Amino acid sequence: MTKVLITDPIDQKGIDILSQVAQVDQKIGISDSELASIIEDYDALMIRSGTQVTEEIINSSSKLRIIGRAGVGVDNVDVKAATQKGVLVVNSPGGNTIAAAEHTIAMMLALSRHIPIANSSTLLGKWERKKFVGNELYKKKLGVVGLGKIGAHVAKVANALGMEVCGYDPFVSTERAQQIQVKLSDLEDLFQQSDYVTLHLPRTPETENLVNMDVLKNMKSSAKLINCARGGLIDEEALAQALNQSLIAGAAIDVFSKEPLESNSPLLKVEKNLILTPHLGASTREAQENVAVDVAEQIRDVLLGLSARTAVNIPGLSPDIMDSLKPHLQLAETMGLLISQLSGGQIQKLEVKLQGEFVQHPSQPLIIASLKGLLSKALGDRINYVNASLEADSRGISVVENKDEARPEFASGSLQLTTYGDNGDHSVAGSIFADGELRIISIDQYPVNVSPSRYMLVTRHRDMPGIIGKLGSLLGSNNVNIASMQVGRKIVRGEAVMVLSIDDPIPNKLLDTIIEVDGITNANPVTL
């Protein structure tokens, strides 16, 4: 008999749905070792945030077909291990949107009107009206960092409250921002000019400690900071220091780098203008029911041989197609990741041009892989083959496919990606050589021949004597080792592109120095 294991509290409606097709066992709060010892008996696992589904647990079962996370984040699931094992992972990306957005608004209001401390004072028998004079949200400037579903809903409510809303999201188009009545801003200006800043980002290596002491020092002294998204986006020690020194006027935090909040957290020593809640963003009856029903229905459907709506790891492609297109998908994803870092700013359109052999393959998987790479820097593990098109669409990125039947320059054909956005047009072309090696064959129409590497530096410069030597010496003096170098140009002493594969990432200060070199007009560090 088909069996489903539930290891976290789940709304009864979700349990009832699963009970229609399987035996449902609930073992709330079991240890990792116990879960690993019993998971072999189950076809499906349903969890919330309390269960850590590790590689060991996943590999302990040969029957497990699907893991359902009743919520948005899948940080507590080893998605890579699940994918390698052939286990589908699903979540409920929209089930708690309203709850999280409303908690954000509630935190803003509570912070503005000193509600928690005023309540405590009144319960002690005091009557301190003059002490708790607050401020209105009306006509204040709200900066929303991240304009996905939750951030967009916060912006909608804030507009209804009469706030001026600006936002930052490198993958939201100007048209999409206009639709949700948000004025796009760069990140530095947003923090400097906003009266309130609210974070709605995933936790990725790029977003970890996004709000640090430098950022806090540049905020208004009257500004207030809210985080109901993910722990780790804020340097908590820096925030505590900023509040104690009145660098900002207040903060309301629902999520923390380590949960439960540790007893030695510097935030617990802040004496004023700080509200802390124990990760309540999704804690409404409605949200709990929504995510439970959504995920339970998907588990039920998969167990019945149907497809899932919000799988986060396995695309809706047959294994045969995936195997045959493996190097092509890898190339497309790599190129998407590369061009996202070369383009910068908001992207409105992506053009995917197929030539030669690439025309003979199904184009949709290549487009999806390109989008996954394009959005990876912004969305981290949240982006996948299943949701890439939806995420691009929600950000107002249109996709144009172009097939070129002409005789290709390279025997294996080529794939070219072109982005159109606030920073102009940018293009990257690539091919697969006979030995299966991926190659970048042009950048912004300048011919190159580069094997993608983990760390790269792409520069635009004037083709003039000595400039290559200057850059090489500068990197060498800063202990940055160059593995390989390629220069592409169209005409002698005209504009050129230089691509360097390096062993380590470029420090920010060094990047500033590189851009100041006479003849270099632009420099983009790339991490693949």
For 236-246, write each residue's pLDDT tens digit: 999 999 999 99
- Contact between 216 and 247 (Cβ < 8 Å): yes
Residue 103 appears among annotated catalytic residues:
no
The residue whose two tokens read 């919520």 is: 71
**Among the listed residues 382, 398, 505, the one whose alpha carbon sits nearest the alpha carbon of residue 69:** 382
d(CA 416, CA 408) in angstroms, rounded, equals 12
Q: Which pLDDT does position 387 carry in this prediction?
A: 72
Domains 3-93+286-303 and 97-276 agree in fold: yes
- pLDDT score at 305: 84
At the second CATH level, the architecture of 315-452 is 2-Layer Sandwich (3.30)
Q: Which amino acid is at 494?
A: G
pLDDT on residue 408:
62
Considering only residues 492 and 130, tell me which one the structure prediction assigns the higher pLDDT.
130
Residue 309 is among the residues annotated as catalytic for this protein: no
97-276 has which fold?
A: Rossmann fold (3.40.50)
Q: E strand or H helix at 258, and its extent?
A: none
Query: Which one is predicted more confidently, 154 or 437?
Result: 154
Given the residues 65, 113, 237, 279, the one annotated as active site: 279
Which band of pLDDT confidence, cut at 50, 70 and 90, is reported for residue 409? low
Cβ count near 45 (within 10 Å):
26
What was the pLDDT predicted at 321? 63
Gap between the Cα atoms of 288 and 9, Å rounded: 10
Q: What is the pLDDT of residue 222?
A: 98
DSSP string, 495-510: EEEEEEEESSPPPHHH
Residue extents of the structural domains in the chain? 3-93+286-303, 97-276, 315-452, 455-528
Mean pLDDT of 453-475: 88
CATH number of 3-93+286-303: 3.40.50.720
Q: Are 204 and 380 in contact (CB under 8 A)?
A: yes
Catalytic hit among 34, 55, 128, 259: 259
Q: Over the stretch 260-275, which tens digit does the pLDDT of each residue have?
A: 999 999 999 998 999 9
279 as an active site residue: the answer is yes
Q: What is the mean pLDDT of the chain?
A: 91
Tell me the per-residue pLDDT of 55-110, one tens digit each, with 9 for 90 and over: 999 999 989 999 999 988 788 999 888 877 878 899 998 888 999 999 999 999 99
pLDDT at 320 over 60: no
Q: Are the beta carbons of 523 and 450 closer than 8 angstroms?
A: no
Compute the distance between CA of residue 64 and CA of residue 303 in angstroms, rounded to an integer. Answer: 11
Predicted local distance difference test score (pLDDT) of residue 87: 87
- The whole-number pLDDT of residue 189 equals 97
Query: Considering the domain 455-528 in this protein, what is its CATH number?
Result: 3.30.70.260
Among 230, 395, 426, 460, the active-site one is 230
Chain segment 117-128, per-residue pLDDT in tens? 999 999 999 999
Indicate left, alpha or beta for 70 from its phi (over 0: left) and psi (-120 to 50: alpha): beta
Judged by average pLDDT, the poorest of 13-22, 153-162, 447-456, 506-515 is 506-515
Q: What is the pLDDT of residues 220-235, one digit of tens each?
A: 999 999 999 999 999 9
pLDDT, mean of residues 420-433: 91
Q: Is the pLDDT of residue 436 over 90?
A: no
